């Protein structure tokens, strides 16, 4: 059920245990749907409404390395940031969990072999057929073998959801299920409980009225920044015995990926290059080829985990993007404005429409004009750093009474060297494979510190409530339960100790799948 008034929720006298989930983003809605499937009664509490919304300017600030994502890549609404992303799914590598000897603190309490099966289950839960899970199977479905570009690199595929918005994906379930309810327009501002046990969440509505919603189990899934904010807010509240008040790790080890253009690409064989790296469309599914260092190289060499992907820019790139967004809007019944622009963009792309369709139908590939400018784009791991953190500014409170959250994003200083080394090795591998030569950005090649001005965050916020062996090195245990508490869990990328080179949402969903299994047992 979709609720807009707390009075619509559980009537008095109803003793069925309830799991309260804070946040109706990817993790919150996914966890609720899976818990409902195993018979649990769930209430998701969302601060925003059903329309896309953001966070008030006075509720956050950013210092240290400039970070755009804290303001433009967070959504306070039903569906959360799934209203903003493209729906890209990609798995982490074994080294990301098992640790690297040269990177202190990089080993997770959960090993790769333990989490790997939950990637498969998450694919199934999201509706991806089994034949889409394996890269080799996908390549063979388009009459190709997985490309090889040297001994140190592997080409891999990312998968894209047909319906990226979880508000749309799970709408039928939360609108009809008696087990799964979503309450919008109520902001969680704290917890209630005694000793180690949480008994309820304190919420405030848009009019400033305050309520307490009781529950049996609680999952904090409000996003990386807000997860730390709420735990820190509760620890600062002297009116109740917060069980995690003494944990000094809350908010520490904030992470994001670094993104930049690393080189201009000069293909040796244009057809061969496009067959290797142009996007695949097969049976309605989208797959994007990228490349990264192999797992054994990550263990052997002190290089941060980096992925390379190719960007294609032509005279009609903007027209093609517009048409793609128009089709999405039509499919999902969104409001469409300026319909006349459709004809202008179709006209601009007219000479490419036939080869575009031919490339799609015959080769199951996205058409790229041969004269396109090609760039090597980098998405790089950040080394974990305790000083990179989220903390509260108690001098400022927002309209809900929450202290302002301050992000102090910091880098270790060796990220540029890893990006440069990855790019040089990629250049050698691509040339050896007869695919392309890279003209590396001069500032990167010369290791000019000013090059880092061009390196931006990629909106993949992580850390702040990291998984640890004890409260001495983390905030949650291997089952995602907050140290000191008996029934409060955290979901999302905020529990990550490292961020690999990959988008964080799918790994967060895999851990959520594991958490649901734990709670249902």
Burial 318-333 (b: 16+ CB within 10 A, else e): ebbebbeebeeeeeee
With cut-offs at 50, 70 and 90, classify the pLDDT of residue 360: low
Using CA atoms, how far apart are residues 29 and 43, in angstroms rounded to an integer? 10
Burial 266-281 (b: 16+ CB within 10 A, else e): ebeeeeebbbbbbbbb
Using CA atoms, how far apart are residues 349 and 389, in angstroms rounded to an integer? 46
Using CA atoms, how far apart are residues 475 and 246, in angstroms rounded to an integer? 11
Give how far the C-alpha of residue 491 lies from the chain's centroid of Cα atoms, to the nearest Å: 12
Which residues have C-beta within 8 Å of that of residue 333, sequence separation ≥ 6? none
Q: Give all domains of the chain, ordered by start, each with its CATH number.
A: 2-6+16-61+68-314+368-520 (3.50.50.60)
User: Over the stretch 34-69, which tens digit does the pLDDT of each residue have?
Assistant: 999 999 999 999 999 998 899 999 999 999 999 999
Percent of the chain topping pLDDT 70: 89
In this model, does residue 338 exceed pLDDT 90?
no
In this model, does residue 321 exceed pLDDT 60?
no
CA dihedral over 213, 217, 221, 224, signed as positive or negative: positive
> Mean of the pLDDT values across residues 349-357?
55
Q: Which helix (H) or strand (E) holds 307?
A: strand 306-313
Query: Dihedral angle at the C-alpha atoms of 394, 408, 502, 223, nearest 10 degrees?
Result: 10
Neighbours of 39 (CB within 10 A): 8
Find out whether 257 and 381 touch, Cβ atoms under 8 Å.
Answer: yes
Ordered alpha helix ranges (H), 251-387: 270-277, 295-300, 317-331, 340-348, 350-358
Contacts 24+ apart (CB under 8 A), 201-208: 201/20, 201/22, 201/45, 203/6, 203/45, 204/400, 204/401, 205/6
Neighbouring C-alpha atoms within 13 Å toward the C-beta of 329: 13
Q: Which helix (H) or strand (E) holds 505?
A: helix 505-520
Neighbouring C-alpha atoms within 13 Å toward the C-beta of 186: 27
Using CA atoms, how far apart are residues 120 and 110, in angstroms rounded to an integer? 17
Nearest to 152 by CA among 277, 303, 377, 310: 303
| Ramachandran region, residue 225 (left: φ > 0; alpha: ψ -120 to 50; beta: rest) | alpha
In this model, does residue 322 exceed pLDDT 90?
no
Query: Dihedral angle at the C-alpha atoms of 477, 482, 484, 487, nearest 10 degrees?
Result: -110
In this model, does residue 439 exceed pLDDT 70?
yes
Overall pTM surpassing 0.85 (yes/no): yes
Using CA atoms, how far apart are residues 146 and 157, in angstroms rounded to an integer? 10
Report the mean per-residue pLDDT for the chain: 90
Neighbours of 188 (CB within 10 A): 25
Using CA atoms, how far apart are residues 36 and 31, in angstroms rounded to an integer? 8
> Mean of the pLDDT values across residues 242-256?
97
Instruction: Please identify which residue in the block is written with the tokens 């818990």.
Output: 35
What is the reported pLDDT for 333?
45
Nearest to 18 by CA among 463, 411, 429, 487: 487
What is the reported pLDDT for 518?
96
How large is the C-alpha radius of gyration of the chain? 23
What is the reported pLDDT for 357?
60
Token output for 103: 């990177």
What is the reported pLDDT for 365?
76
The most distant pair of C-alpha atoms in the chain lies apart, rounded to whole Å, by 73
User: Over the stretch 254-287, which tens digit does the pLDDT of each residue have?
Assistant: 999 999 999 999 999 988 999 899 999 988 899 9
Find out whether 348 and 316 touch, Cβ atoms under 8 Å.
Answer: yes
Neighbours of 361 (CB within 10 A): 10
Find out whether 471 and 309 touch, Cβ atoms under 8 Å.
Answer: no
Find out whether 392 and 404 touch, Cβ atoms under 8 Å.
Answer: yes
Using CA atoms, how far apart are residues 238 and 278, in angstroms rounded to an integer? 56
In this model, does residue 133 exceed pLDDT 80?
yes
- Angle of helix 505-520 versus helix 112-125 axis, rounded to 10: 90
Tell which wins on pLDDT, 252 or 362.
252
Distances in whole angstroms, Cα of residue 145 to Cα of each of 137, 140, 155, 156, 262: 9, 6, 11, 12, 27
Lowest mean pLDDT among 9-18, 210-219, 283-292, 507-516: 9-18
Percent of the chain topping pLDDT 90: 77
Find out whether 94 and 112 touch, Cβ atoms under 8 Å.
Answer: yes
In this model, does residue 326 exceed pLDDT 70?
no
User: Over the stretch 91-130, which tens digit does the pLDDT of each residue have?
Assistant: 999 999 999 999 999 999 999 999 999 999 999 999 998 8
What is the reported pLDDT for 16?
85
């Amino acid at each position: 059920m979709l609720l807009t008034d707390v009075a619509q929720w559980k009537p008095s006298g109803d003793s069925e245990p309830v799991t309260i989930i804070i946040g109706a983003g990817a993790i919150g809605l996914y966890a609720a749907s899976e818990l409902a499937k195993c018979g649990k009664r769930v209430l998701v509490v969302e601060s925003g409404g059903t329309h896309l919304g953001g966070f008030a300017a006075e509720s956050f600030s950013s210092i240290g390395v400039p970070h755009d994502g804290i303001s433009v890549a967070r959504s306070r609404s039903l569906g959360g940031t799934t209203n903003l992303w493209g729906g890209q799914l990609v798995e982490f590598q074994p080294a990301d969990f098992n640790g690297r000897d040269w990177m202190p603190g990089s080993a997770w309490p959960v090993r790769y072999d333990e989490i790997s099966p939950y990637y498969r289950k998450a694919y199934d839960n999201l509706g991806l057929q089994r034949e889409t899970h394996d890269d080799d199977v996908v390549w063979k479905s388009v009459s190709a073998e997985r490309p090889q570009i040297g001994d140190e690199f592997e080409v891999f595929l990312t998968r894209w959801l047909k319906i990226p918005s979880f508000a749309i994906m799970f709408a039928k379930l939360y609108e009809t299920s008696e087990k799964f309810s979503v309450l919008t327009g109520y902001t969680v501002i704290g917890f209630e409980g005694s000793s180690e046990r949480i008994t309820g969440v304190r919420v405030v509505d848009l009019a400033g009225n305050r309520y307490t919603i009781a529950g049996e189990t609680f999952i904090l899934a409000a996003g990386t920044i807000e997860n730390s904010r709420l735990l820190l807010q509760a620890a600062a509240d002297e009116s109740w015995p917060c069980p995690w008040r003494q944990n000094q790790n809350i908010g520490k080890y904030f992470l994001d990926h670094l993104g930049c253009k690393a080189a201009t690409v000069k293909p040796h064989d244009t057809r061969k290059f496009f067959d290797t790296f142009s996007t695949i469309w097969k049976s309605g599914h989208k797959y994007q080829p990228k490349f990264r260092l192999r797992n054994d190289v990550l263990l052997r060499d002190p290089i941060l985990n980096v992925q390379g992907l190719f960007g294609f820019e032509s005279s009609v790139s903007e027209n093609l993007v517009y048409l793609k967004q128009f089709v999405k809007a039509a499919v999902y019944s969104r409001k469409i404005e300026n319909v006349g622009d459709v004809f202008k963009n179709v006209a601009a792309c007219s000479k490419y429409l036939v080869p575009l369709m031919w490339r799609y139908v015959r080769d199951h590939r996205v058409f790229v004009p041969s004269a396109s400018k090609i760039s090597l784009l980098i998405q790089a791991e950040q080394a974990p750093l305790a000083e990179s953190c989220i903390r509260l500014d108690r001098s400022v409170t927002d309209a809900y009474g929450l202290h302002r959250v301050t992000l102090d994003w910091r880098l270790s200083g060796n990220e540029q060297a890893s990006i440069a080394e990855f790019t040089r090795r990629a250049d050698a591998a691509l040339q050896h494979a007869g695919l392309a030569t890279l003209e590396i950005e001069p500032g990167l090649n010369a290791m000019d510190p000013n090059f880092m001005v061009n390196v931006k965050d990629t909106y993949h916020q992580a850390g702040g409530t990291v998984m640890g062996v004890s409260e001495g090195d983390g905030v949650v245990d291997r089952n995602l339960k907050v140290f000191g508490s008996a029934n409060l869990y955290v979901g999302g990328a905020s529990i990550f100790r490292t961020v690999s080179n990959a988008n964080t949402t799918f790994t967060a969903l895999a851990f959520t799948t594991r958490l649901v299994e734990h709670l249902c047992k």
